[in-house]
Amino acid sequence: MVPEIGHFALIIALCLAVVQTVLPIAGAGLGKASWMATARPVAQGQFVFVALSFACLTYAFLNNDYSVLYAVSHSNSQLPTLYKVSGVWGGHEGSLLLWVLMLNVWTVAVAWFSRHLDQATVARVIGVMGFVAIGFHLFMLLTSNPFERIPMQPDGRDLNPLLQDPGLAIHPPMLYMGYVGFSVAFAFAIAALLGGKVDAAWARWSRPWTTAAWVFLTAGIALGSWWAYYELGWGGWWFWDPVENASFMPWLIGTALMHSLAVTDKRGTFRNWTILLALMAFSLSLLGTFLVRSGVLVSVHAFANDPERGSFILAFLAIVIIVSLVLYAWRAPKVGFGGDFELFSRESLLLMGNVMLTATCGAVLLGTIYPIAHQWLTGANLSVGKPWFDMFFAILMAPVILMMGVGPLVRWKQGNPSEIARRLVPAFVAAIVAALVLPFVMGGWRWVVPVGLFLAFWIFSSSLTNLVTRLQSMSGNDSLGAKMLKQPRHYWGMLLAHCGVGIFILGVTFVEGYDQEKDVRMDIGDTLVMNDYVFRFDGTIRVQGPNYRADQGAITVSKDGQPFVVLRPEKRIYNVQQNPMTEAAIESGFFSQLYVALGEPLGGSAWSVRVYYKPFVTWIWSGCAIMALGGMLAMSDRRYRVARRAAQETAHGAALEASR
């Protein structure tokens, strides 16, 4: 009964999504206020039904309802409750439902926080989001119904053991919040094109939404990377796998979009470029969904492939993107680019950074889909190696990092190159010194290290220069602290996010430069020396988990002769699927991490053991977390709330005027 309610709720939600698309957009076109007024209540209604549907599926999982095919395929009665819940989005069908739920969360949020906008814009934005919802509802109902019934099975086939992990429980919701969040910026862009009005006010409305989506996407990607690092047992944190690329492309464009929106907001320029980025960010989110679910690409974590689903989503993708790009080609010339600026100005630097980010995204796309093109043309299979991605990424990103240090210092419209150069000399020298000295402190010269260190310290020192310059230029005799408190939050957010990038680069640089890896055969009592640490293997014991059994090794680590920690890596066999799973044991410190994984038993009490020493590796994800925090700080800035209030008053005034 409950699954049928869930299924039925989805059908109602689809109907509401159709209403949510047609009435408000038509109303905005024809100027019918009563039609436009349906946008909010209908959107809220759709949310209620999608949430109900999601609750029904969760109920099926928690209640061990193994007459639901999807629950049979992704759950088991022995599964711990946390993973029963996260199992709901552990497969194709349920993760689509999560996608749609997230879309509805964003739509309802827009409906709530848009009271200050004019009715036509709100109607168009909600309508466009309704259209996106239609596509995904149809996709689910026609090709991927999560409520499909089968005769009651005695038990489920279990959630893939790789997914039975707290990190992966929250990774998809975060990632989807990011993906889907760009639909808001997309809808704002379409609404602006339809309404023919792209101005600073429009950019100010779009900004916090875009930043919010970007924050979620950053956190989601970082969580995914962290999960792959400790769960796959290879000690790598980024593989340029097609699925990773699918989430990284919208991130690159989203980053460009945030900066471009800032320019449109403050200077009224970059207008049609900003619109194009907004369209691209969401298009790439859809493309990512396609790549992951259609099976066109081979990946370690793609969903099982199904060409029918692939054609459906490709068709939908094509409709959404072609319609929006046609609209763009038609209206963008009228929107125009906006005001002019000199070659050396903040606008100019931001534009160059934007172009570089877009080019990087293009290169990622090329590397991701090139195997398809090659197979088409020659019939031969190939893949593009990680070294290629690493190389072009470094080449294209280095100038962006350099510009990151300069840009915020330069004036809008027209900067003074010699003044900026003078200001930045100390920062530059500091970064060079750090880059040349630190490698020797850390234990050896490797080419990647000074380059990475220079870029990281360049961000820190130029950000500091920026802060000092800004404080100096403030008049009045306030104390330093008072001056600092007066800086707006979006400024602190920017500095914080930039420093997050620096911390990320430090992490990557040290890991690439100084990590150590050893695969060894260890019997009881054998030791291995790595850096200052001595690892001693003390054998394995059998342990019993809730739904698995495991061989748990004990490896005593000592440092300078003192016992430091005992690491207990596991080799698990899950009861249902019977596949072995490596569970690495990790000891994290502030500056480094020890990582131990069990390989296979080698007869007797000996095992093959993999030991890593990873300096600064946690800084990689901390850097991402700091970027996300910076984004959160920036979007909480009061200028958006003030702007909202001001707009509200204007709208109110206009309404009064109209009523007179």
Partner 1 sequence: MKPRQKRLVFVAAGVVGIGIAATLVLFAFQQNMMFFFSPSQVAAKEAPVAKAFRLGGMVKEGSMQRVADGLTVAFTVTDNAEEVTVMYTGILPDLFKEGQGVVAQGKLDGAGVFIADEVLAKHDETYMPPEVAKALEQGKAAAAMQNVNQTTVIP
Partner 2 sequence: MVRYLAPLIIFIALAVLLYVGLGQNPTVVSSPLINKPAPAFTLPQLHDPEASFGPENMRGQVWLFNVWASWCVSCREEHPVLVNLSRMKEVPIYGLNYKDERQDGLRWLKQFGDPYVLSAFDLDGRVGIDFGVYGVPETFVIDKEGVIRHKVIGPVSPSRVQNCLLPMVRALKQDQPVAEEVVKACA
Beta bridge partners of 149: 68
Torsion angle in degrees (nearest 10) through CA of 290, 292, 295, 301: 180
Q: Which does 597 bind (CB under 5 to 8 A by kind): partner 2, partner 1, none?
A: partner 1
Q: Which does 168 bind (CB under 5 to 8 A by kind): partner 1, partner 2, none?
A: none
Q: Is 606 in the site for partner 1 (CB under 8 A)?
A: yes
Q: Which does 326 bind (CB under 5 to 8 A by kind): partner 1, partner 2, none?
A: partner 2
Nearer to partner 2 by Cβ, of 76 and 552: the residue is 76
The single residue listed with the structure tokens 């349920």 is: 94
Give the strands of the sheet with 592-601, arranged side by side.
516-522, 607-615, 592-601, 585-588
Q: How far is 345 from 152, CA to CA, in rounded Å?
A: 68
Q: Which does 363 bind (CB under 5 to 8 A by kind): partner 2, partner 1, none?
A: partner 1
| CB-based burial, 621-642: b 16+ in 10 Å, e otherwise | bbbbbbbbbbbbbbbebeebee
Q: How far is 385 from 369, CA to CA, in rounded Å?
A: 13
DSSP per-residue string spanning 514-580: H-EEEEEEE-TT-EEEETTEEEEEEEEEEEE-SSEEEEEEEEEEEETTEEEEEE--EEEEETTT--E
Nearer to partner 1 by Cβ, of 242 and 507: the residue is 242
Q: What residue type is assigned to position 510 of the chain?
A: F
Q: What residue type is assigned to position 240 of the chain?
A: W
Measured from the CB of residue 596, what is the shortest distance to partner 1 in angstroms? 12
Per-residue x/- track, 383-402, partner 1 (CB under 8 A) = xxx-xx--xx--xx------
Nearer to partner 1 by Cβ, of 197 and 374: the residue is 374
For partner 1, the binding residues in 273-332 under the rule CB under 8 A are 295, 298, 300, 304-305
Measured from the CB of residue 643, what is the shortest distance to partner 2 in angstroms? 29
Q: Which of 77, 527, 579, 650 binds partner 1 (CB under 8 A)?
A: 579
Measured from the CB of residue 381, what is the shortest distance to partner 1 in angstroms? 4
Measured from the CB of residue 600, what is the shortest distance to partner 1 in angstroms? 7
> Which residues form the interface with partner 2 (CB under 8 A)?
69, 73, 148, 150-151, 153, 157, 272, 276, 279-280, 283, 290, 294-297, 304-308, 310-311, 314, 317-318, 321-322, 325-326, 328-330, 332-333, 365, 369, 372-373, 375-376
Q: Is 428 in the site for partner 1 (CB under 8 A)?
A: no
Nearer to partner 1 by Cβ, of 91 and 452: the residue is 91
Measured from the CB of residue 277, what is the shortest distance to partner 2 in angstroms? 10
Measured from the CB of residue 332, what is the shortest distance to partner 2 in angstroms? 5
Beta bridge partners of 534: 529, 558
Give φ, ψ of 171 to 5 degrees: -60, -50
- Helix (H) / strand (E) element for 598: namely strand 592-601
Nearer to partner 1 by Cβ, of 170 and 384: the residue is 384
- Helix (H) / strand (E) element for 592: namely strand 592-601
Q: Which does 383 bind (CB under 5 to 8 A by kind): partner 2, partner 1, none?
A: partner 1
Nearer to partner 2 by Cβ, of 291 and 501: the residue is 291
Measured from the CB of residue 112, what is the shortest distance to partner 1 in angstroms? 41
Count the alpha carbons within 13 Å of 195 in the hemisphere toward its beta carbon. 24
Three-state SS sequence of 174-187: HHHHHHHHHHHHHH
Q: Which does 376 bind (CB under 5 to 8 A by kind): partner 1, partner 2, none?
A: partner 2
Q: Which does 323 bind (CB under 5 to 8 A by kind): partner 2, partner 1, none?
A: none
Task: Tell me how far apart the terminal alpha carbons of the chain are, to the nearest angstrom.
Answer: 56
Count the alpha carbons within 13 Å of 443 in the hemisphere toward its beta carbon. 9
Q: How far is 582 from 598, CA to CA, in rounded Å?
A: 7
Q: What is the DSSP-derived secondary structure letter of residue 311?
A: H
Q: How far is 392 from 368, CA to CA, in rounded Å?
A: 13
For partner 1, the binding residues in 334-363 under the rule CB under 8 A are 340, 342-343, 348, 351, 355, 359, 363
Q: Which does 333 bind (CB under 5 to 8 A by kind): partner 2, partner 1, none?
A: partner 2
Q: Is 468 in the site for partner 1 (CB under 8 A)?
A: no
Angle CA 646–274–333, to nearest 5: 105
For partner 1, the binding residues in 610-649 under the rule CB under 8 A are 610
Q: Which does 332 bind (CB under 5 to 8 A by kind): partner 2, partner 1, none?
A: partner 2
Q: Which does 148 bind (CB under 5 to 8 A by kind): partner 1, partner 2, none?
A: partner 2
Asked if 645 contacts 634 with a C-beta cutoff of 8 angstroms, the reply is no
Of 79, 63, 77, 71, residue with least CA distance to 150 = 71
Query: What does each C-alpha distance from 612 to 1, 177, 193 come to in angstroms?
Result: 52, 34, 53
Q: Is 580 in the site for partner 1 (CB under 8 A)?
A: yes
Per-residue x/- track, 500-519, partner 1 (CB under 8 A) = -------------------x
Q: Is 372 in the site for partner 1 (CB under 8 A)?
A: no
Measured from the CB of residue 340, what is the shortest distance to partner 1 in angstroms? 5
Give φ, ψ of 239 to 5 degrees: -115, 0
Q: Which does 151 bind (CB under 5 to 8 A by kind): partner 1, partner 2, none?
A: partner 2
Q: Is 575 in the site for partner 1 (CB under 8 A)?
A: no
DSSP per-residue string spanning 86-107: HHTTSSHHHHHHHHHHHHHHHH
Q: Which does 322 bind (CB under 5 to 8 A by kind): partner 1, partner 2, none?
A: partner 2
Q: Which of 135, 233, 254, 631 binds partner 1 (CB under 8 A)?
A: 233
Per-residue x/- track, 123-142, partner 1 (CB under 8 A) = --------------------
Q: How far is 203 from 210, CA to CA, in rounded Å?
A: 10
| CB-based burial, 427-459: b 16+ in 10 Å, e otherwise | bbebbbebbeebbeebeeeeebbbbbbbbbbbb
Measured from the CB of residue 583, what is the shortest distance to partner 1 in angstroms? 10
Q: Is 491 in the site for partner 1 (CB under 8 A)?
A: no
Nearer to partner 1 by Cβ, of 394 and 632: the residue is 394
Measured from the CB of residue 12, what is the shortest distance to partner 1 in angstroms? 32
Measured from the CB of residue 525, what is the shortest distance to partner 1 in angstroms? 16
| Interaction site with partner 1 (CB under 8 A) | 233, 295, 298, 300, 304-305, 340, 342-343, 348, 351, 355, 359, 363, 366-367, 370, 374, 380-385, 387-388, 391-392, 395-396, 519-521, 579-582, 597, 599-600, 602, 606, 608, 610
